[in-house]
Amino acid sequence: MLDFVQQLVSGVALGCVYGLIALGFVLVYKATEVVNFAQGDLMMLGGFFAFTFIGMMGLNYWIGFAGAVAAMALFGMLAERVVVRPILGYPQFSIIMVTIGLGYFLRSVAGMIWGTDDLKIETPFSQGVLRMGSLVLAYDKLSVIAATMILCTLLWLFFNKTTLGTAMRASSENMLAAYYMGIPVKRVVAVVWAISAAVATCAGVLLAPITFIHSNVGLVLGLKAFPAAVLGGFGSIPGAVVGGVLIGVIESMAGFYLPEGWKDAAPYIVLLTVLLLKPEGLFGLHVRKKV
Amino acid sequence: MRFLFKTDYEDDIKLFPHSGYVVTYGVLLALLLIAPHVLSSYLMSQLVFVCIYAIVGVALLILTGFTGQASLGHAAFLAIGAYTAAYLQKYNVPFPVYFLAAGLLTGIIGAMVGFPALRLTGIYLVIATISFALIVEEILARWESVTHGNEGMRVKTLSLLGVAVPRDSPTFYYLCLAVLVLTIVGTLNLLRSPTGRAFVAIRDSETAARSMGVNVALYKVKSFAISAAITGFAGVLFAHKLSFISPEMFTLQLSIEFIIVILIGGTFSLHGAVLGAIFIVMIDPFLTYLKDDMPGIIAGIAATFGAGTATAGNIEAKVAAFASLNGLKGAIYGIIIVLFVLFEPLGLYGRWLKIKLFFQLFPLYKRATFKRQKIYVKSERNR
């Protein structure tokens, strides 16, 4: 039983990271119908920025964290301006390919700048553990869970309660109509990319004490975040986090109870099953096809 | 300028619209046939890879280019073909039999992937095919009684009708070339048949295709099966060319490379598969060449512009250090993909058509002829 709870907590913590990356997918998808295959790589880059600020320049953890988030928000806007904006309105496949290309580029450049070693960021909560009876929970894992909850709530409020959030939802439904209604669509899209890069950075920095940062971490985790986003229904903010947690728990349980090899395949088996039975996901909207 | 005067539907679907085609492709085929006597063994080896990549490119074009179903899982089909060949070869099955068996098995698995894919479009399909490829990769690594897991499998020398065909021999090249030519001719015939027209109809509008009486589900599964089977044939050749296969050869990276093949070549014509394959396979030797010779060339240029010997040497060392950076290849790949999608969405074959049209219409060529249409209005979710 104790093993089960331990596995559950570490699964939830891992799942929160998937959820945060999936949140990035969902934000961009919700606002622009673009699926950003470079989301994991944005997370990786955010982690490296934080490492530069905290590990190399010796800044305070929180200042370094904020600096990395701000820098990545700017980077997200830059990426949107240079790579994504010229092809908005073209078939989705072109956009997927562009973001795959961007991911390739970011991975290689990060490898050139920061090397190929695993890097570690010292955090205020990388050491301690919380003891509850005979249950031992590490603070770094709890911090991931807490931060995910906070971010998810903030983003949900932002999307559903603020004017800018409503503008984003409008431009995702129909860009041209949103433009006619006076919404500055281009600026809205740029802001969405900034937010999504910032969320990715949070994931990267929180992840750093658990799995370390290296140039391929984005690819590995990014691919695991797809099942999370699909399970939650592409386009639902709470869905992304719930999907991420489910995938994390499934992976963790499969690694513990099933023979070797199931751990890596389990998320994709779940994904294919979901796509087969309920393609709109757990929280997705079911939309009728129009001719 | 040539005007084709068509009086009949048969004229419209001719394999060779006019005599120019016969001459051009005849000359090309002759050049390819004498290639082993002219080119170095290294270039011949690259040419075999061009053939294999082009076969996969054609397969992917049937699915992605003509039926409009994106797939990022073709490395898995290649792997299934390659492993089937390696496994059957252990039991002394002759080449023609396991070649066909590999295609058949891959085709059946392709159809099985096609069924769940019926309900999926766009991004969901891409994610589903990625998942399929990742699961296959995991199975290959774990099913040790058949695949030998991560140790990989040796593939014996191909023996065709009792004659050994080493992987470096001209005969092996001719075999690959023959499979490529047969694939292309077969695909051209497929595309001018009712099946091919149904594929294109599904790509352009599924709803319109259905209302014209096309059985969308059937043709989508057919497209998946045909594409997978052709990739399986390529897998057999791939296994023989490498003579050793292991699961880490068939990663997502390879699937992306196949997509890059058709993306760079052009997704609207079979020429694209071949041009893209040439590009992807030849980029490696080209980058190696740049890495070895570029520092010297740049230093030479610097010297002619009046830089001293010391400065030139300095520049040479710096450029050499940059060229040998780890991961430069990945960065160049990334830049190439982005630039092609942004500036040359029709690919290399599209560029060739533009150049041709420019000279045919000179001086009346307009850039707008090839302009893409942007659609801001529709959300793909509601389609």
| A275 contacts in chain B (CB < 8 Å) | 116, 119-120, 124, 127-128
Whole-angstrom distance, CA of residue A50 vs CA of residue A53: 5
Could you give phi then psi for residue A201, rounded to 5 degrees?
A: -60, -45
Most B CBs within 10 Å: which of A97, A176, A185, as the mutation test of the B interface? A97
Q: Is residue B103 a contact partner of residue B229, using CB atoms and an 8 Å limit?
A: yes
Q: Is residue B32 a contact partner of residue B278, using CB atoms and an 8 Å limit?
A: no
The reply to whether B145 touches chain A by the CB within 8 Å rule is: no
Q: What band does B109 get if pLDDT is binned at 50, 70 and 90?
A: very high
- As a whole number, mean pLDDT of residues B196-210 equals 89
Instruction: Residue window 122-161, chain A: list those with CB within 8 Å of chain B.
Output: none
Q: CB–CB of B116 and A173 under 8 A? A: no
Average pLDDT, chain A: 83
Residue B289, classified by CB atoms within 10 Å of its CB into exposed (0-12), middle (13-18) or buried (19+), is exposed
**CA nearest to B256 within chain A:** A100
| A87 contacts in chain B (CB < 8 Å) | 341-342
Q: CB–CB of B127 and A226 under 8 A? A: yes
Instruction: Residue window 40-69, chain A: list those with CB within 8 Å of chain B.
Output: none
The reply to whether B371 touches chain A by the CB within 8 Å rule is: no
From its phi and psi, is residue B61 left (phi > 0), alpha (psi between -120 and 50) or beta? alpha
Residue B65 has pLDDT above 80, yes or no: yes
Q: Is residue B122 a contact partner of residue B380, using CB atoms and an 8 Å limit?
A: yes
- As a whole number, mean pLDDT of residues B294-321 equals 77
Q: What band does B118 get if pLDDT is binned at 50, 70 and 90?
A: confident
- As a whole number, mean pLDDT of residues A127-133 equals 71
Q: Which amino acid is at A250?
A: I
The reply to whether B256 touches chain A by the CB within 8 Å rule is: yes
A108, A177, A260 member nearest B327 (Cβ): A108
Q: CB–CB of A276 and B116 under 8 A? A: yes
The DSSP 8-state label assigned to residue B72 in this structure reads S
Residue B1 has pLDDT above 80, yes or no: no
Q: What band does B221 get if pLDDT is binned at 50, 70 and 90?
A: very high
Q: CB–CB of A176 and B139 under 8 A? A: no
- As a whole number, mean pLDDT of residues A33-62 equals 86
Whole-angstrom distance, CA of residue B139 vs CA of residue B133: 10
CA distances from A114 to A48, A178, A193, A200, B91 (A): 8, 42, 24, 19, 50
| Residue A226 Cα to chain centre, angstroms | 9
Q: Is residue B167 a contact partner of residue B241, using CB atoms and an 8 Å limit?
A: yes
Most A CBs within 10 Å: which of B135, B341, B370, as the mutation test of the A interface? B341
Residue B83 has pLDDT above 90, yes or no: yes
| B327 contacts in chain A (CB < 8 Å) | 107-109, 111-112, 215
pLDDT tens column, A167-198: 888 887 778 888 888 998 888 889 999 999 99
pLDDT tens column, B342-382: 888 888 988 988 998 899 888 888 888 887 777 665 555 54
Q: CB–CB of B376 and A175 under 8 A? A: yes
User: For residue A178, what are its two tokens?
Assistant: 């949103």
Average pLDDT, chain B: 86
pLDDT at B77: 95
3-state secondary structure of A135: strand
Q: CB–CB of B383 and A174 under 8 A? A: no
Could you give phi then psi for residue A137, rounded to 5 degrees?
A: -120, 130
pLDDT at B197: 92
Q: CB–CB of A109 and B123 under 8 A? A: no
pLDDT at A291: 43
B135, B374, B379 member nearest A90 (Cβ): B374
Instruction: Residue window 308-337, chain B: list those with CB within 8 Å of chain A.
Output: 325-331, 333-337
The reply to whether A86 touches chain B by the CB within 8 Å rule is: yes
From its phi and psi, is residue A258 left (phi > 0), alpha (psi between -120 and 50) or beta? beta
CA distances from B191 to A132, A219, B66, B194, B223 (A): 67, 37, 8, 8, 11
Q: List helix spans (H) across chain A.
A: 2-32, 39-51, 61-79, 92-114, 139-161, 163-173, 175-180, 185-211, 217-232, 237-257, 262-277
pLDDT at B383: 45
| Residue A20 Cα to chain centre, angstroms | 4
- Beta-bridged to residue B244, according to DSSP, are B154
Closest by Cα among B354, B98, B328, B62 to B221? B62
Whole-angstrom distance, CA of residue B52 vs CA of residue B45: 11
The reply to whether B382 touches chain A by the CB within 8 Å rule is: yes
| Top-confidence residue, B131 or B326 | B131
Closest by Cα among A104, A89, A105 to A33? A89
Whole-angstrom distance, CA of residue B231 vs CA of residue B220: 17
Q: Which amino acid is at A80?
A: E
Whole-angstrom distance, CA of residue A18 vs CA of residue A148: 10
Q: Is residue B172 a contact partner of residue B165, using CB atoms and an 8 Å limit?
A: yes
Whole-angstrom distance, CA of residue B152 vs CA of residue A76: 41
First CA to last CA across chain B, in angstroms? 42
Residue A58 has pLDDT above 60, yes or no: yes
pLDDT tens column, A82-98: 988 888 777 777 888 89
Most B CBs within 10 Å: which of A30, A117, A180, A268, as the mutation test of the B interface? A268
Residue A284 has pLDDT above 80, yes or no: no
Whole-angstrom distance, CA of residue A29 vs CA of residue A33: 4
Residue B75 has pLDDT above 90, yes or no: yes
pLDDT tens column, B149-188: 888 888 888 777 878 888 888 889 999 999 999 999 999 9
Q: Is residue A219 a contact partner of residue A41, using CB atoms and an 8 Å limit?
A: yes
| A291 contacts in chain B (CB < 8 Å) | 207
pLDDT tens column, B326-340: 677 788 888 988 998
Contacts of A119 (CB under 8 A, 6+ apart): A47, A48, A51, A55, A208, A212, A213, A214
Q: Which residue has tokens 């994931």?
A: A203
- Is the N-terminal amide bond of B363 cis, ω within 30° of 0? yes
The DSSP 8-state label assigned to residue B373 in this structure reads P
Helix (H) or strand (E) holding B245: strand B244-245
What percent of chain B stands above pLDDT 90?
32
Greatest mean pLDDT among A31-40, A267-276, B270-279, B359-368 lies in B270-279
Q: CB–CB of A112 and B142 under 8 A? A: no
The reply to whether B130 touches chain A by the CB within 8 Å rule is: yes
Residue A275 has pLDDT above 60, yes or no: yes
pLDDT tens column, B308-319: 777 777 777 777
Residue B47 has pLDDT above 70, yes or no: yes
| B122 contacts in chain A (CB < 8 Å) | 92-93
Q: Is residue A12 a contact partner of residue A249, using CB atoms and an 8 Å limit?
A: yes
Instruction: Residue window 54-83, chain B: list those with CB within 8 Å of chain A.
Output: 64, 70
Considering only B37-46, B148-157, B192-201, B207-216, which range has the smallest mean pLDDT? B148-157
Q: What is the ipTM of this complex?
A: 0.84
